[in-house]
Amino acid sequence: MKEIVIATNNRHKVEEISAILQGLPVRLIPLSDYPGAPELKEEGATYAENALHKALTVARFTGKWALADDTGLEVDALDGRPGLYSARFAGEGVTFADNKRKLLRLMEPIPTEKRTAAFRTVLALVGPSGESQVVEGVLHGRIAEKEQGTGGFGYDALFFIPELGKTYAELTADEKNRISHRALAVQKIREFLLKTVGV
């Protein structure tokens, strides 16, 4: 059975990825099983660079396949920000509550029809010999005027999906695993594993 280390310390991401890859003959290992793992830095100029760097770092450290993501919220009215800096939008060492407050403040004067945004996830799967596959998933929506819902994390309670009439934080796990940016990317990884890696 192929073993893949999920290169993140975010348990929500581990849960989402594990649910979508369920049923494949692979053993998914959380990074927390490797207490001495190196810090995963995001210093690239693109999501792909960040995801590849994290996956390669973990693959080299563990000697196993590694799967890493980089995800950002892109707001059209803010010229694509926060983008690569979504986790530190309000500064270094901030909480997501700080990030959400800053986003709401910047979006205050923006009318509903111009509050369009997208969640973008890039996933990188890297083997111990350096072989790699990079895929992307995008979910379109808009920024809500206030937080709605208690599920999820990050900006989820502010990301409204018009087709469903809900924010991302109001979706069930099953709904997320069907339509989310991460789900779309993980499905592509699933297909790659089925076709290419011989799982």
Sign of the torsion angle spanned by Cα atoms 54, 59, 62, 66? positive
Verify whether residue 70 is a known catalytic residue: yes
Please state the separation of Cα 19 from the chain's center in Å: 14
| Of 33, 69, 70, 76, catalytic | 70
- Integer Cα distance of 170 and 190 in angstroms: 26
CA 137 → CA 9, 161, 181, 183, distances in Å? 21, 15, 5, 7
The H-or-E segment that residue 87 falls in is none
Q: Which one-letter amino acid corresponds to residue 130? A: G
Active-site residues: which are they? 70
